[in-house]
């Protein structure tokens, strides 16, 4: 074997060893990350659910809550949106339709991953106390159903009912516009069946005066009852087209509530 050939072989062996070490390191790092993620979901979302969990306020994102408190202090808010990631993403993903809401002086208090108990905590800790919006829009409960396979429709509905009650207590001059949980997952899945059952219960919270209920879920579905990818690419979060649908429903509802 010539000297140059030997050098090339040695270099190849060393390179292979280095690559192997790096690969093992990457695998270890990924496995560590996977374990952390799995531990997080097991701790936060996959533990056994109890009947009172959905109505027991618990803090989740104190930094975002603090931001909302500061926004409330600035005032000039007539329309507040309370919810989870579907609400939270509207100004970014559906910016053009969100901007159309400007005449209503809106504020977005949605947080990714919120369940009823997290939103309940935020309201009980002052997010509405510094303002008196004309209308509070509520869309919550999807994560209760998705995260917890053992969550019953009754438990989620009780959580939503308590949220409505606390809003009325904290901001008695405000009207509440409660939306039925939007479709999620496949049409015959456990998640979607539970969402349908929850919506059937929470529609009765409407009193026609201070609390109004709107179920626009069918507008996000095709003729076969499936969620089109151009409306919800991941079968849960709205696209810009999805937010436009939500906006149009609000445009048909808000004027009547403001009379």
**pLDDT tens, 98-109?**
999 999 999 999
Residues 115, 159 contacting (CB under 8 angstroms): yes
- Structure pTM? 0.83
210 carries an active-site annotation: no
pLDDT at 40: 41
pLDDT at residue 241 tops 50:
yes
- Residue 147: per-residue pLDDT: 96
Helix or strand run (H / E) with residue 29? helix 3-44
Beta-bridge partner residues of 175: 135
H/E stretch holding 246 reads helix 240-257
Residues 85, 132, 206, 249: which is the catalytic one?
A: 85
34 counts as catalytic: no
pLDDT at residue 47 is higher than 90: no
Q: What is the pLDDT of residue 235?
A: 97
pLDDT score for 162: 98
Q: Which of 34, 150, 207, 234 is catalytic?
A: 234
Please say if 237 is a catalytic residue: yes
Q: What is the average pLDDT across 155-180?
A: 98
Is residue 239 pLDDT above 70, yes or no?
yes
Mean pLDDT score, 12-37: 37
Catalytic annotation, pick one of 65, 118, 212, 237: 237
């Amino acid at each position: 074997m010539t000297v140059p050939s030997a050098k090339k072989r040695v270099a190849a062996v060393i390179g292979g060893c280095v690559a192997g070490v790096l690969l093992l390191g990457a695998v270890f790092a990924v496995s560590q990350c996977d374990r952390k993620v799995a531990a997080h979901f097991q701790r936060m979302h996959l533990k056994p659910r109890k009947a009172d969990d959905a109505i027991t306020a618990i803090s989740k994102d104190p930094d975002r809550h603090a931001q909302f408190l500061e926004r409330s202090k600035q005032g000039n808010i007539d329309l507040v949106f309370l919810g989870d990631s579907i609400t939270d993403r509207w100004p970014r993903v559906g910016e053009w339709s969100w901007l159309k809401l400007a005449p209503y002086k809106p504020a977005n208090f949605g947080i990714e991953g919120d369940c009823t108990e997290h939103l309940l905590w935020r309201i009980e800790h002052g997010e509405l106390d510094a303002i008196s919006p004309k209308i509070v829009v509520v869309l919550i409960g999807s994560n209760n159903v998705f995260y917890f396979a053992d969550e019953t429709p009754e438990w989620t509905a009780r959580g939503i009912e308590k949220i409505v009650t606390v809003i009325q207590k904290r901001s008695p001059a405000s009207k509440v516009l409660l939306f039925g949980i939007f479709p999620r997952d496949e049409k015959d899945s456990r998640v979607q069946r539970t969402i349908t059952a929850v919506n059937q219960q929470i529609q009765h919270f409407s009193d026609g005066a201070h609390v109004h209920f709107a179920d626009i879920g069918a507008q996000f579905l095709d003729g076969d009852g499936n969620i089109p990818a151009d409306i919800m690419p991941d079968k849960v979060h709205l696209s810009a087209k999805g937010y436009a649908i939500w906006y149009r429903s609000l445009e048909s509802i808000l004027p009547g509530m403001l009379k």
